[in-house]
Structure 1
Amino acid sequence: MSSDALRNSLLAARDRRQELLDTLFPTPFPATVMLSLNLPGGEKTGARADRLFAWGERALLAAMNGSAAARGHDALGPFALYRTRLLATQVKRLGIAVEGAYPAGRLLDLDVYDHAGNQMGRADLDVAPRNCLICREPALACIRAGRHSSDELARAARALIDAL
């Protein structure tokens, strides 16, 4: 698949996920969580992605009591939406703890929304942004500066998953 085709496929998947999210709000549940993967490069699906997602799902559900609202698999990989009676701030803190529990947790993407659909971010809790997989600088700064190749980041991600 060409890089343009891959990019278009990923953007279309992101748009479909947003459309699904938009149908869930407002909700009587204090928080909704989307669990997905934050994998660099073009390899977003397959056995490694499925293994990481299953591990992340077990860790998330052990940390919070929630019920599945939707599940799916697309060009971005597996994803699931959960509703919980916990407050969005509590769930975000639990999600950050799950992401930090193991090195591979860094590859999970736990997006938390309040009852109205407003996303709760790390900055809302005065928590530092995610670090880069390679150099531990803020990931967004490395992405913007193009400090690491997609192949280098993908190799680092595969190593983290393989160590699970």
Structure 2
Amino acid sequence: MSSDALRNSILAARDQRQALLDGLFPTPFPATVMLSLNLPGGEKTGARAERLFAWGEEALLKALKVTPALRGSDALGPFAFYHTRLQATQVKRLGMALETRHPAGRLLDLDIYDHAGRQVGRAELDIAPRSCLICCEPALACIHARRHSTEELVLKARAVIDAI
């Protein structure tokens, strides 16, 4: 797939996910969790992505009492939405603990939304930004500075997934 086609399919998948998410709100549940993957490079689907998602979903289900709302897969890989009776800020803290408990957690993306669909972010909880997969600097700083090659990031992600 060409880089333009890949970019277009990823953008279309993001738009479609946002439309699905928008359709879930408002909800009587205090929080909604979106579980997806945070994989570097163009390979967002396949056996590794499925294995990582299954691992992440199992960890999420052990950590939180959630009700499945919607599940799918697209150019960005597998994803699922869950509702919970816990408060959104509490769920965000539990989700971040899950993301930091194991190296593979760094490749998960747990987005938390309140009953109205407002996303709960790290900044509002006064929690440091997500760290880089390779070094301990903030991930966005590494992305903007291009400190690590895509190949280096992809190899690291593969090694982490292969270890679960």
TM-score by length of 1: 0.98
Matched with 1:30 is 30
Can you give the 5+ residue segments of structure 1 that lack an aligned partner in the other structure?
Answer: none
1:58 aligns with 2:45: no
Matched with 2:98 is 98
CA apart distance, 1:149: 1.3
TM-score by length of 2: 0.98
**CA displacement 1:6-59 (0-9 Å, x = unmatched):** 111101000000000000111100000000000000110111111110010011
CA RMSD of aligned residues (A): 0.7
1:154 aligns with 2:130: no
Matched with 1:112 is 112
Provide the rounded CA distance (Å) in 2 between the counterparts of 1:128 and 1:22: 27
The letter for the 2-side match of 1:44 is: K
CA apart distance, 1:117: 0.3
**CA displacement 1:119-147 (0-9 Å, x = unmatched):** 00111111111111112211001111111
Aligned structure 1 segments of 4 or more residues deviating by more than 4 angstroms: none
SS of equivalent residue, structure 2 residue 24: coil
Provide the rounded CA distance (Å) in 1 between the counterparts of 2:65 and 2:39: 26
Provide the rounded CA distance (Å) in 2 between the counterparts of 1:99 and 1:134: 15
The letter for the 2-side match of 1:151 is: E
